Structure formats: C-alpha cells, structure tokens
Amino acid sequence: MKIDNDILIQNKIYEHSKLVLLADELNFDQTFGVTKSILKIRRNLHVIGFDLNNEFEKELANANHELICIWQLGRYISVINVKKDKREGVMLFFEFIKGNSAFRQFALQMLESLFCEKVALAFEKHYEEMSAGFCEDDDIVELSVDAYDLN
C-alpha cells in the first residue's frame, strides 16, 4: 500500500506540510526510526487514515497471533507489527535510498532477524517498486521524537 498526497488532502494538510509520525528513536540522519509504543503506533495509524480498532480489527481477527503490514509512507517504507491483543507492537521506518545497497542489506537482515524471511522478501518487493517510481513529491512524511501527550 502506498500512502501519498491523497492522505494529505484527507487530513486537511496542504502544500508545504507533511504528516508528522512519531518514533521513539531516530538515527542521526533520519534514515531509520522505530517505536514500540502502542500509543504512538495508534496515533501514527490514525494520522495516515487508519483506526487500530476498525480496519485493523478485521485483519487481526484473521491473524493467528499478530499482524504485519508493509507500507510506503512518503519516502519511508514502514513495517508495522501489532499483536492480536493490541497491547504490543512495533513500527519501523526505513528511508528509501536509491542505490544504497548497504542500507538495504541492513534493513533486510534486521527484518529477517525480527520476523522472518517472508517479511524481508515482502520489504524487498516494496523497495523494488519504490525504485521504479519514487519522486520527490512523495516526500510527505516527517518523523519526530518530540514528546506528545498521548494520554
């Protein structure tokens, strides 16, 4: 799934604005981010147009123990993992960097060790799709570790 400018319009975010998604940690150049906070995951999903208690509920009901989704979010490929009880999860952000094979290998190894080879292969497929059609107009997401009151 690709999250693009339609989501900006739907959320009444206009020119020169970006969706701000929350992470617990970002590396120094923001090419990788992660959150394990279910509150931040819920908020991020809501911002991009999904409600963990609605759309995900159907998918989680069909899942054995967890749901793993891979989405293109602006210039990032995000891997979202939510446990069936919706109390635990992780949301990973990998910036798409065309031609950076070292970063791509880092992402693949991390995903294979955290999840399984199937998830790593699905990530690689999304990476290839982005390689074919990514443009600067797709840069609609900004990651932030700034504190938000999520209670």
Q: Per-residue pLDDT tens for 19-61?
A: 889 999 999 998 999 999 999 998 898 888 776 667 667 777 7
* pLDDT for res 149: 56
* pLDDT for res 89: 93
SS (H, E, C) the chain: CEECHHHHHHCCCCCCCCEEEECCEECCCCCEEEECCHHHHHHHHHHCCCCCCCHHHHHHHHCCCEEEEEEEECCEEEEEEEECCCCCEEEEEEECCCCCHHHHHHHHHHHHHHCCHHHHHHHHHHHHHHHHHCCHHHCCEEEECCCCCCC
Question: Is pLDDT of 76 > 80?
Answer: yes
Can you give the pTM of this predicted structure? 0.82
Query: What residue ranges do the domains of the chain occupy?
Result: 2-13+20-95+136-141
pLDDT in tens, 94-111: 998 877 888 889 999 999
